[in-house]
């Protein structure tokens, strides 16, 4: 080919044109107007909160969303249809014996109403427009209204019930094929009792089709979806609307119906789907943009995606200004805006990596990869702040599995259609759909177990956000022409920067850790337990607290990106549920539990999640770090009930470094989880207990007590308190008054014991109770509480 000859069309890589700047300006003005409207709405809500009357109220309400299952029972969002609070949104808190309202159900409820506390912890409720909470004491006449919407929500509940029953049949058949005590999770279908009775195969379909994520909450599959960057499929948004609209349009356009009728029917069904799935912000945006596109189609005009997106956002913000701070709204618009503005441009850069002969055929592949990359990067500041996970495998997982998940969604639409018109055929299709869902879930969980699949990260700092936005603006202004050499140089530079940044982060993390080389930190995780033991570069997490989000925040606060060992005292939710935030990326080598507790399905699920084996421990076992040893002194024999308080692992965390190298007087921390005073005394009185207190040939004493069971009534008695305060040299049986008595003179302890209570603020149990607090005041020199002092760090 001579130099004067033009290049073949397939060889030329031209950057796509930039969207017109006036359109971007209009989008920005729309969002500014939305922010102004939001400010006014916030002021109105503030006044509404102040006017909520405390006390018992009776009112008619309608559920606006599916109920949520929390640590202390179900809760749900409703709108008040009559009564003093008419028109306001409330959060109902149901007792364990009250069946919660499903989406769209209407009922008369009675209970104690309380205005929402205007504090940081309630901000997420306030931004949803909730003005008060009501503890439900009575609920009567739950039903669906006779209106078209009521019938639609009743149909939703009926279809969910049919699909769930079908899933239970498959689950039962799958369980029968597994043998007795060796039953384990079969793919995504969980055995009875595992994952708290959740069925992940059904949960994936319910999340995709109905926007109902209850069955996936705290499940292995939910964590895997987040770690692989596929969780956005559970948010009913553009993907769902595009598939449903395309399916309907494809069928209807092959009938004699005119353009107007085809467009009208498609839009009507898609609008019903928005109500069917519970008014998700992404689905509302999608149906509005679909309306603009179908309108342009009927008028024989082209539609501008960016302008239709801006108009959709403006309409939504006018009707509900609080959407301006809704995560779903921001993620939906951010990803679409990024794809529209930069999608084709990134695709052209990716094409540069493809050999010239294959560029034309590679367009579908590069287009899918470009959309995944741009959508992830455009929403990066939001996802890091909300989820604390950077899914490195996200673009690859989306490229590989997005078509499969879209196929599952279309398959689910077809199965539900036949469930309505021909139930036997629909039932068969639903069974096939569930099996396919099980298969996909297994692949997603396998991808999540790759060690580099995701890394835990905190939200971007103000400087990071400024640099991020500045980079987008610079790219917009510069708009360099795609070039293979430039792309390779850019990729090499980015990899070097990532390597240097990760190295710097690791260095500063290690430096910080080694400057506080021997520490035990009782983390503030609310009403639960979680402790960090750090010795040089090694980290052990003991228990994980009740909340994955809170544990993630605490780990990021202490710059914890790797955990060597995970130890559980027992499998109660306030000790183990937080482990849902952990994954294979933390590099956990083993999970230490009480011997005999391997049968716990809670532990089995966590083991699968973090890809680490369960290892049993008994009194006498030791975990040795550099200068610290964790010595187990209870249980003495394999436990029968992994959930019982008396089955908890009781441990002494001991500094074994020579005293000549350590001037810190604190050497021993005693922690027992929920095992109370009786078990702690029995553990200390055993030979293994006395042996565990021998360090370098010297008898040590307990310097710090992590008060058992969050300071419950039986967490501490006078016998144990006196023994710890006066030293272990006092025989436990020598106390003449084990129960103590009021008015007794405080002893003069020879040591300075410290007590730490891990407890949630204003918890429903009334912890810590007055009885242990009185004993701590009499026998201990210092008391720290996580509800008042935050996380407590003890240097050994």
Return d(Cα 458, Cα 276) in angstroms, integer.
35
Top-ranked range on mean pLDDT: pick from 175-179, 505-509, 536-540: 536-540
> Would you call 2 exposed, middle or buried from its count of C-beta atoms within 10 A (0-12, 13-18, 19+)?
exposed
Q: What is the pLDDT of residue 4?
A: 43
Q: What is the pLDDT of residue 9?
A: 45
Which residue in 47, 114, 276 sits closest to 762, CA to CA? 114
Q: What is the pLDDT of residue 53?
A: 65
The pLDDT-based confidence of 122 (bands split at 50, 70, 90) is low
Q: What is the pLDDT of residue 508?
A: 52
For 12, the token pair is: 């030329």
Residues 223, 188: contact at Cβ < 8 Å? no
The pLDDT-based confidence of 515 (bands split at 50, 70, 90) is very low
Alpha helices, DSSP H, located in 177-253: 200-210, 220-227, 238-252
Name the CA dihedral angle for 402, 404, 407, 412, rounded to a multiple of 10 degrees.
-100
For residue 417, pLDDT over 50 is answered with yes
Query: What are 451-465's pLDDT values in tens digits?
Result: 778 877 777 777 888
Q: What is the pLDDT of residue 23?
A: 61
Q: What is the pLDDT of residue 320?
A: 82
Stretch 133-149: mean pLDDT: 89
The pLDDT-based confidence of 182 (bands split at 50, 70, 90) is very low
The dihedral region occupied by 388, where left means phi > 0, alpha psi between -120 and 50, and beta the remainder, is left
For 742-764, the three-class secondary structure string (H helix, E strand, C coil) is CCCCCCCCCCCCEEEECCCCCCC
Query: In this structure, what DSSP letter does residue 577 have?
Result: G
pLDDT, greater one: 324 or 158: 158
The pLDDT-based confidence of 356 (bands split at 50, 70, 90) is confident
Q: What is the pLDDT of residue 357?
A: 76
For residue 531, pLDDT over 90 is answered with yes
The pLDDT-based confidence of 530 (bands split at 50, 70, 90) is very high
636: three-class secondary structure by DSSP? coil
Q: What is the pLDDT of residue 695?
A: 82
Return d(Cα 318, Cα 478) in angstroms, integer.
35
Phi, psi of 17 (to 5 degrees): -70, 145
Residues 335, 54: contact at Cβ < 8 Å? no
pLDDT, greater one: 118 or 243: 243
For 582-611, the three-class secondary structure string (H helix, E strand, C coil) is CCHHHCCCEEEEECCHHHCHHHHHHHHHHC
Name residues whose C-beta falls within 8 Å of residue 6's C-beta, 6 or more positions apart in sequence. Answer: none
Q: How far apart are the first and last CA of the chain?
A: 75
Pairing verdict, β 89-93 and 782-785: unpaired
The pLDDT-based confidence of 22 (bands split at 50, 70, 90) is low
Return d(Cα 377, Cα 373) in angstroms, integer.
6
For residue 195, pLDDT over 80 is answered with no
Q: What is the pLDDT of residue 50?
A: 66
Return d(Cα 426, Cα 412) in angstroms, integer.
10
Q: What is the pLDDT of residue 265?
A: 93
Stretch 752-762: mean pLDDT: 86
Which residue in 491, 508, 552, 602 sits closest to 190, CA to CA? 602
Stretch 603-607: mean pLDDT: 89
Q: What is the pLDDT of residue 54?
A: 67
Top-ranked range on mean pLDDT: pick from 298-312, 431-445, 681-695: 431-445
For residue 137, pLDDT over 80 is answered with yes
For 215, the token pair is: 């069955």
The pLDDT-based confidence of 595 (bands split at 50, 70, 90) is very high
Q: What is the pLDDT of residue 752?
A: 64
For residue 735, pLDDT over 50 is answered with no
Q: Average pLDDT of the chain?
A: 80
**Preceding peptide of 510 cis, ω within 30°:** no
The pLDDT-based confidence of 523 (bands split at 50, 70, 90) is very high
- Buried b / exposed e over 373-408, threshold 16 CB at 10 Å, is bbbbbbbbbbbbeebbbbbbbbbbbbbbbbeebbeb
Stretch 689-700: mean pLDDT: 83
Q: How many degrees, rounded to 5, is the angle at CA 518 between CA 512 and CA 522?
A: 90
Return d(Cα 57, Cα 109) in angstroms, integer.
8
Q: What is the pLDDT of residue 63?
A: 92
The pLDDT-based confidence of 51 (bands split at 50, 70, 90) is low
For residue 742, pLDDT over 60 is answered with no
**Preceding peptide of 517 cis, ω within 30°:** no
Name residues whose C-beta falls within 8 Å of residue 588's C-beta, 6 or more positions apart in sequence. Answer: 563, 564, 565, 566, 582, 610, 611, 612
Q: What is the pLDDT of residue 185?
A: 35
Pairing verdict, β 565-567 and 590-594: parallel
pLDDT, greater one: 516 or 578: 578
Q: What is the pLDDT of residue 498?
A: 58
Residue recorded with tokens 């709204």: 329
For residue 178, pLDDT over 50 is answered with no
For residue 757, pLDDT over 70 is answered with yes
pLDDT, greater one: 281 or 180: 281
Q: What is the pLDDT of residue 593?
A: 93
Stretch 384-411: mean pLDDT: 85
Stretch 720-731: mean pLDDT: 71
Stretch 489-507: mean pLDDT: 62
Phi, psi of 403 (to 5 degrees): -60, -40
The pLDDT-based confidence of 353 (bands split at 50, 70, 90) is confident
Q: What is the pLDDT of residue 718?
A: 86
Which residue in 399, 340, 338 sits closest to 368, CA to CA? 399
The pLDDT-based confidence of 215 (bands split at 50, 70, 90) is confident
Query: What are 64-105's pLDDT values in tens digits?
Result: 988 887 656 788 899 989 877 788 888 888 877 788 999 999
> H/E element holding 35?
helix 21-51
Q: What is the pLDDT of residue 394?
A: 85
């Amino acid at each position: 080919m001579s130099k004067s000859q033009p290049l073949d069309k397939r060889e030329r890589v031209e950057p796509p044109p930039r969207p017109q700047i006036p359109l971007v300006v209009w989008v920005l003005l729309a969002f500014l107007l939305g922010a102004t409207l939001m400010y006014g709405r916030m002021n109105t809500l503030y006044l509404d909160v102040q006017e909520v009357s405390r006390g018992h109220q009776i009112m008619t309400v309608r559920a606006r969303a599916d109920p949520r299952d929390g640590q202390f029972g179900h809760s749900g969002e409703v709108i008040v249809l009559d009564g003093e609070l008419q028109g306001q949104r409330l959060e109902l808190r149901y007792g364990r014996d009250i069946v919660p309202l499903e989406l769209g159900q209407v009922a008369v409820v009675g209970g104690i109403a309380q205005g929402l506390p205007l504090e940081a912890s309630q901000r997420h409720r306030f931004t949803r427009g909730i003005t008060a909470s009501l503890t439900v004491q009575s609920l009567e006449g739950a039903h669906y209204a006779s209106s078209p919407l009521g019938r639609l929500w009743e149909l939703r509940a009926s279809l969910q019930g049919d699909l769930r029953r079908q899933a239970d049949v498959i689950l039962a058949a799958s369980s029968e094929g597994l043998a007795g005590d060796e039953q384990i999770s079969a793919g995504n279908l969980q055995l009875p009792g595992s994952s708290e009775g959740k069925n992940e195969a059904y949960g994936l379909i319910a999340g995709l089709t109905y926007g109902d994520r209850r069955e996936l909450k705290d499940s292995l599959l939910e964590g895997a979806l987040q770690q692989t960057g596929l969780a956005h499929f559970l948010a009913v948004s553009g993907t769902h609307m595009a598939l449903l609209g395309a399916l309907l349009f494809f069928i209807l356009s092959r009938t004699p119906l005119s353009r107007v009728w085809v467009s009208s029917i498609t839009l009507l069904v898609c609008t019903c789907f928005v109500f069917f799935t519970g008014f998700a912000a992404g689905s509302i945006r999608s149906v509005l943009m679909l309306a603009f596109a179908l309108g342009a189609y009927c008028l024989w005009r082209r539609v501008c995606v960016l302008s239709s997106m801006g108009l959709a956002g403006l309409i939504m913000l006018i009707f509900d200004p609080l959407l301006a701070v809704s995560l779903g709204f921001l993620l939906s618009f951010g990803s679409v805006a990024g794809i529209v503005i930069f999608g084709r441009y990134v695709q052209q850069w990716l094409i540069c990596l493809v050999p010239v002969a294959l560029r034309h055929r590679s367009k579908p592949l590069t287009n899918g990869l470009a959309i995944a990359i741009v959508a992830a990067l455009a929403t990066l500041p939001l996802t890091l702040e909300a989820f604390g996970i950077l899914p490195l495998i996200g673009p690859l997982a989306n490229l590989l599995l997005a078509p499969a998940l879209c196929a599952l969604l279309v398959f689910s639409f077809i199965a539900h259609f036949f469930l309505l018109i021909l139930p036997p055929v629909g039932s068969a299709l639903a069974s096939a759909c569930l099996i396919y869902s099980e298969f996909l879930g297994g692949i997603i969980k396998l991808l999540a177990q790759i060690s580099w699949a995701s890394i835990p990260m905190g939200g971007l700092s103000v400087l990071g956000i400024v640099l991020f936005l500045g980079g987008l603006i610079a790219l917009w202004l510069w708009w360099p022409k795609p070039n293979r050499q430039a792309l390779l140089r850019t990729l090499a530079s980015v990899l070097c920067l990532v390597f240097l940044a990760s190295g710097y982060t690791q260095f500063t993390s290690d430096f910080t850790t080694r400057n506080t080389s021997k520490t035990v930190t009782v983390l503030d995780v609310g009403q639960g337990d979680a402790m960090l033991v750090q010795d040089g570069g090694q980290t052990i997490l003991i228990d994980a607290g009740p909340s994955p989000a809170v544990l993630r925040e605490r780990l990021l606060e202490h710059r914890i990106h790797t955990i060597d060992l995970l130890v559980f005292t027992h499998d109660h939710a306030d000790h183990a549920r937080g482990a849902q935030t952990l994954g294979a990326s933390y590099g956990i080598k083993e999970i230490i539990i009480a011997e005999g507790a391997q049968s716990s399905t809670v532990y089995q699920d966590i083991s699968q999640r973090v890809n680490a084996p369960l290892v049993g421990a008994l009194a006498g076992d030791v975990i040795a770090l550099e200068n610290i040893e964790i010595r187990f002194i209870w249980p003495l024999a394999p436990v029968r009930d992994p959930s019982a308080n008396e089955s908890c692992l009781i441990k002494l965390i001991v500094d074994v470094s020579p005293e000549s190298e350590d001037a810190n007087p604190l050497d021993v921390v005693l922690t027992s989880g929920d095992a109370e005073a009786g078990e702690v005394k029995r553990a200390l009185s055993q030979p293994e207990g006395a042996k565990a207190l021998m360090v370098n040939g010297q008898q040590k004493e307990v310097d710090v007590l992590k008060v058992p069971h969050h300071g419950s009534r039986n967490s501490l008695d006078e016998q144990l308190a006196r023994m710890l305060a006066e030293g272990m040299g006092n025989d436990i049986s020598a106390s003449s008054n084990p129960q103590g008595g009021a008015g007794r003179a405080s002893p003069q302890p020879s040591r300075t014991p410290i007590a730490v209570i891990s407890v949630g603020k204003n918890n429903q149990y009334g912890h810590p109770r007055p009885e242990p607090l009185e004993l701590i005041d009499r026998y201990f020199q210092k008391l720290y509480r996580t509800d008042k002092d935050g996380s407590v760090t003890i240097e050994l």
